[in-house]
A and B are shown apart, each in its own frame.
Chain A
Amino acid sequence: MEMSFTVRNVLAGATLLGAVGGVLGGFAFLRRQSLLGDALAHATLPGVCLAFLLTGSKAPLVLFTGALIAGLIGALAILGVVRGSRIKEDAAIGTVLSVFFGFGIVLLSRVQRSPAGNQSGLDKFLFGQAATLVESDVALMALTGGLALGTVLLLYKEFKLVTFDRGFAASLGLPTIRLDVALTLLLVMVVVIGLQTVGVVLVVATLVTPAAAARQWTDSLGRMLLLSGLLGAGAGAVGAWVSASAPRVPTGPVIVLAGAAALLVSLFLAPRRGLLWSYWRERRLAARIRRENLLKDLYRYGERLGGDFAAPVPLIHLRGVRGQGLGELRGATARLARESLVERIGDALRLTGGGVERAASVVRKHRLWELYLTRRLALPLDHVHRDAETMEHALDDGAEARLDEILGYPPTDPHGQPIPRPGGRA
């Protein structure tokens, strides 16, 4: 396929931005400065306008420099307001963002009316028209991005430590404030090269979204940054490709949506942290707890009948015990019946032989744990039942055996109820 110069430039620019933004955004993400990038992007507007008003030039380097300086001033203003006054960080970011931008709009309207004429050159710088990227723009992006990535590579260890544990970094003699400044400076640089491709509003997404997605897949900083850069580059390439092949589709928003799609997949499906899996795990655990509780209730009923565990228990008695709904009860019963642990006899339930053993084991864990809490931790009696309710489902057989051993194989729980012995009954 033949690729036009424009498309090639857009593709190169968007991919480059995605990669650099992903890596630097990774640090911002971990330093809880995700929205700093947003503020810095907006803060560049007056810089761009002033650079033009002062020099009369629309050369990328001139506007770039103006944006860089204004962005840095914005970062300093946020820091100064937070340090020096009672205004909290979120409000400081919001204030700098909107006031700088407002001032920028004022200047922009000035530019519009200036004899030097149209503002189109500035417009594309700010609201992201990737299609206008030319080779020299891409070269400037590559230079800046390369510089930023090179610095991260060189100072990786130091950036990592100052991000994770400032106090310890300082105790080793690292200049923590200078490292902060360096990271902020790099962030401003990325923001500025992002303006032309995705625009003021969306720059923040090229920083945060790939990092947030990457974080879900790995627990190593190095791998996270790498993945974040790759995801960013991928989103950039997708955006460039889609907007080149479909009519009237702006590049920036597609880049952002591609990143957002990657994030959604990561948030829900990433192996360990995926929300879907944890939802599923919780559901399974809840179902198991319901089943075990049902077994326990049946066992207790039998205890009250003087140890007749084979007696059928009317369902109506089980419903009230812990306020579970009929549907939940039905689900638990069905599964237990499949495992042949209970039998359904008309409107009543009965433990089978295997069911009695399983139920005894649950009750045993509950009572052992209660005893442990009262004996070893000296918790008052009326406090232990609820704790035991949650722990009994978490204890495995090994832990149960150790508990038994520590407690000296006790016959009764703190309430005087017998503790069922393994294999047999109380």
Chain B
Amino acid sequence: MTSALGIILVGAVVAASCALVGSFLLLRRVTLMGDAISHAVLPGIVLAFLFSGSRAAGPMMLGAAALGLLTVFFVELFHRSGRLKEDASIGVVFPALFSLGVILITRYAGQVDLDLDCVLYGEIAYAPLDVFRLGGVALGPRALWSNGVILLFNALFVTVFYKELKLSTFDSELAAALGFAPLLIHYGLMTAVSVTVVGAFESVGAILVVAMLVVPPATAYLLTDRLAHLLALAMAFGVLSSVGGYGLARLFDVGIAGAMAAVTGLLFTLALLFSPQHGLVARALRHRRLGNRLLGRIALLHLSGTEGGIEVAILRERFAWHGRQLRRALDELAGHGLVTLEGTTARLTAAGARAAEAAGAAEIGHPLARPPVGLPKPDSDQASAFGS
């Protein structure tokens, strides 16, 4: 296997397993638990290292999972007892555990073959050098195997508990009422996050794990409203980021892991700007269009009481903050033949008068014509990711 392929594959597998669990973190609004766990597992890894004396995957996973669960436990303890808000609980727990890890590393530097820089931002370039051998046969990078197993584990977890994860994420009280033990699911998910983080640790480092956990799911969230699509898209963006990141790193001769994280950000920015439904551009256009229509209706209303039309300047005064848009709205009304603009005076046409009456009385003026309160408005964010 070439080194390039090895790096890309390791990156892709890490990205995919991160995206799987990260999507649920996103929907449960606890993405920063991912951030916290990715730092807090450090002492677990160091301790596993000290006790087992090797970089064997088993003890490390165990140590990391234990610390991951400990993190969740402390955060929940402080948060649920009402003494600290959730963000503060996270903000106090993980730096403390991380500090413990750093001190352990520095104190036992002789025994621990862990480099702090590597912990912080990883070095995926070396991943292909550490080859997994079975009976003397080279079977590709070790990191590929370990992360492959984790990916499989995550895929299994998400597939088997899909229904439970979905329900407890959407409505944990309902899940509890139906006997689905949301707390157990929560801890299960956090265990998966911890294990995933350890696997990714050596390859991409503590902080870039966060990029893989958070950003591809967030990007997908901007593009779809369905959970299954969200998972698939998030994995796709993760993989794309690792491929693109490798390419860019080679092109500009920069760090690979950092480049992968930067590409996740690039994809996110593109989705943020250009998502057809939730993108900033689409939104701005929609608001402008709807805004014009709204201003048009208000303009009609103001014109309807005036026999001989009204000076545009006077109208503009009433639209204090929207003087410029008013002009556009009036032009649009004129385009529809509802208003005539003669010099500086705007006047309703016969059709405009009818429209004004309709606008004032029926279309939005009458309470019955409004959508029932509580339903998502056309451009609101309340549509969940649970279309079906």
Contact = CB atoms under 8 A, between A and B. Distances in A.
Do A and B come into direct contact in the complex, CB within 8 Å?
Answer: yes
Which of A248, A256, A273 has the most C-beta atoms of chain B within 10 angstroms of its own C-beta?
Answer: A256
A98 B211 contact: yes
Contact of B214 (A98, A108, A127): A98
A85 B26 CA distance: 14
B35 A97 contact: yes
Given A201-B39, A202-B98, A98 B92 contact: no
Nearest to B222: A85
A257 interface: yes
Nearest to B26: A91
B113 interface: no
Given A94-B31, A108-B255, A109-B254, A250 B264 contact: no
Given A98-B215, A106-B258, A249-B103, A202 B84 contact: no
Given A106-B255, A207-B91, A212-B92, A94 B85 contact: no
B91 A91 contact: no
Interface residues of A, number: 61
Contact of B107 (A107, A248, A278): A248
A88 B215 CA distance: 12
Given A84-B283, A205-B96, A94 B262 contact: no
Interface in B254-278: 254-255, 257-262, 264-265, 268, 272, 278
Given A90-B32, A95-B218, A202-B95, A102 B103 contact: no
A312 B19 CA distance: 67
Contacts of A227: none
Given A88-B29, A105-B258, A35 B91 contact: yes
A114 to B, nearest CB: 11
Interface in A234-277: 248-250, 252-254, 256-257, 259-260, 263, 267, 273, 275
Contacts of B109: 248
Given A102-B260, A205-B96, A256-B99, A35 B120 contact: no
Interface string B200-229: 000000111011011101100110000000
Interface stretch (A26-34, A58-66, A327-335, A369-377): A26-34
Interface string B25-46: 0100111101100010000000
B262 A103 contact: yes
Contact of B102 (A109, A250, A267): A250
Contacts of A283: none
Given A81-B272, A98-B207, A201-B39, A34 B214 contact: no
Interface of B: 26, 29-32, 34-35, 39, 78, 81, 83-85, 87-88, 90-92, 95-96, 98-100, 102-103, 106-107, 109, 116-117, 120-121, 206-208, 210-211, 213-215, 217-218, 221-222, 249, 252-255, 257-262, 264-265, 268, 272, 278-280, 283, 381
Interface of A: 29, 32-35, 37-38, 42, 81, 84-88, 90-91, 93-95, 97-110, 113, 127, 201-202, 204-205, 207-209, 211-212, 215-216, 248-250, 252-254, 256-257, 259-260, 263, 267, 273, 275, 278
